[in-house]
């Protein structure tokens, strides 16, 4: 018979269960279990409740001897942490007033990262993913989406996805791979963007399926990347093959969110340019709206209209967009906390956005809350009140992390 292990007592335990996927949340809806405990077995939660009531059911007890607040492990639903090189030069130029186009013309931008990523070996890329994923783990992230998109050819995209797959065996963080081969049209390929996408459909996607490298397809729908008309055949093919769809949408101009809703995308990410029209469209769909405050910090642009999205009834996730160009910070909690201050989000909305609503943005139904049958992914903060977590804007870091019921930090 499997061992039953009890962890606790937590001064406060926040299960984040029983809350809706969509819409605004007041702090009053957060259930707080004082002196709580979590009973686990074989990596899953069996029961949560008052610690003293669970002791008699446990075979082992991992006693906590300090004041601690426990929450579900964080889920970062949008990152680009598989890459080569650095874009520190771009950042300095951007802060000096250079435009994105000027930087790209001078040898910077996404294409600079493409060159450096192509030069890197699969092993080097994989180790970079492991290093960055482990840094996220120290900040409480136990599940992490990782995109390709800096290869921009069939073989280079496969190299990236294989590197991510290999990295997933070398870190305790769950890595969720996403194919972003439709990031921008490659500069070194003859033919139209549509012809490039057709090649991806005919050659790359079947190989991804056969090697089981990803079940998610992303695309950047933007004036500087792929138009709505160009991307539709690609999404049709990917959807018919059984891939989940996600979209880089409405970052600088609108249109991407409409495509996301049309193709029943799991999420539409960015949305900084979304107007009331797009907000209403997303709110009336099942597509998760994912805010990426790190990109706003890095580019000095407006935040995703998170408050309006929630008030309209949309589902809001918050992710770091950790990437070498526009979002190098990679601190999910800091970004979510600061977004909350600017967009006037409740603690419930911020924490939902980086736990169960973020899990929904990845179509993951087994994490993001602490309840029977869910993964025992738990993080603990040295505090007596859960409100301290966002109050310190990312500076209050976890003092303990359990992944699948095993203490890893």
pLDDT per residue as tens digits for the range 108-160? 889 999 999 999 999 999 999 999 999 999 999 999 999 999 999 999 999 99
Rounded to an integer, the average pLDDT of 45-66 is 97
Rounded to an integer, the average pLDDT of 31-56 is 98
pLDDT band of 224, cuts 50, 70, 90: confident
Nearest C-alpha neighbor of 175 from the set 220, 132, 119:
132
State the pLDDT at residue 311: 98
Residue 250 and residue 195 in contact, taking contact as beta carbons nearer than 8 Å: no
Report how far residue 267's alpha carbon sits from residue 264's, in angstroms, rounded to the nearest whole number: 8
More confidently predicted of 107 and 275: 275
Domain ranges for the chain: 5-72+368-407, 75-361
Q: Does the predicted TM-score (pTM) go above 0.85?
A: yes
Nearest C-alpha neighbor of 132 from the set 382, 320, 352:
320
Residue 344 and residue 330 in contact, taking contact as beta carbons nearer than 8 Å: no
Rounded to an integer, the average pLDDT of 330-340 is 98
State the pLDDT at residue 37: 98
State the pLDDT at residue 399: 98
State the pLDDT at residue 106: 83
Q: Which two tokens stand for residue 164?
A: 């991510």
Helices (H) and strands (E) in the chain, counts: 17, 16
The yes-or-no verdict on residue 196 having pLDDT over 90 is yes
State the pLDDT at residue 209: 98
Q: What SS3 state is found at 267?
A: strand
State the pLDDT at residue 290: 99
State the pLDDT at residue 102: 87
The alpha helices in 204-331, defined as continuous H runs, are: 205-211, 228-240, 256-262, 276-283, 293-299, 306-312
CATH, range 75-361: 3.20.20.140
Residue 386 and residue 55 in contact, taking contact as beta carbons nearer than 8 Å: no
pLDDT per residue as tens digits for the range 380-398? 999 999 999 999 999 999 9
State the pLDDT at residue 103: 87
Domain range 5-72+368-407, CATH architecture: Roll (2.30)
């Amino acid at each position: 018979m499997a061992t039953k292990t009890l962890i606790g007592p937590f001064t406060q335990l926040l299960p984040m269960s029983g809350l809706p996927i969509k819409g605004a949340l007041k702090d009053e809806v957060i259930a707080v279990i004082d002196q709580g405990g979590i009973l686990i077995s074989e990596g899953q939660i069996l029961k949560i409740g008052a610690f003293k009531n669970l002791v008699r059911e446990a075979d082992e007890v991992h006693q906590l001897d300090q004041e601690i607040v426990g929450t579900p492990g964080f889920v970062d639903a949008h990152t680009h942490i598989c890459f080569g090189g650095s874009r520190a030069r771009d950042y300095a130029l951007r802060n000096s007033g250079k435009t994105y186009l000027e930087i790209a013309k001078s040898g910077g931008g996404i294409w600079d990262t493409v060159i450096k990523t192509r030069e890197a070996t699969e092993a080097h890329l994989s180790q970079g993913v492991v290093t960055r994923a482990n840094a996220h783990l120290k900040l409480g992230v136990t599940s992490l989406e990782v995109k390709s998109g800096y290869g921009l050819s069939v073989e280079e995209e496969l190299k990236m996805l294989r590197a991510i797959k290999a990295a997933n065996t070398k870190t305790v963080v769950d890595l969720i791979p996403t194919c972003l081969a439709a990031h921008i049209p490659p500069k070194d390929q003859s033919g139209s963007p549509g012809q490039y996408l057709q090649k991806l459909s005919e050659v790359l996607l079947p190989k991804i399926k056969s090697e089981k490298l990803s079940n998610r397809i992303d695309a950047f729908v933007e004036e500087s990347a792929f138009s709505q008309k160009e991307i539709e055949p690609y999404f049709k093919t990917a959807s018919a093959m059984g891939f989940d769809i996600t979209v880089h949408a409405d970052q600088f101009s609108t249109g991407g969110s409409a495509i996301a809703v049309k193709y029943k995308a799991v999420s539409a990410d960015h949305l900084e340019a979304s107007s009331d029209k797009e907000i209403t469209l997303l709110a009336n769909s099942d597509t998760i709206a994912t805010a990426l405050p790190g990109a706003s910090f890095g580019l000095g642009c407006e935040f995703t209209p998170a408050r309006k999205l929630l008030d309209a009834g949309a589902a809001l996730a918050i992710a770091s967009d950790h990437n070498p160009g526009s979002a190098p910070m990679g601190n999910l909690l800091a970004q979510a906390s600061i977004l909350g201050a600017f967009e006037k989000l409740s603690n419930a909305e911020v924490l939902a956005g980086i736990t169960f609503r973020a899990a929904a943005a990845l179509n993951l139904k087994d994490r993001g809350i602490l309840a029977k049958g869910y993964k025992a992914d738990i993080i603990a903060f040295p505090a007596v009140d859960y409100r301290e977590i966002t109050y310190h804007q990312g500076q209050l870091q976890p003092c303990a992390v359990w992944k699948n019921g095993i203490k890893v930090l």
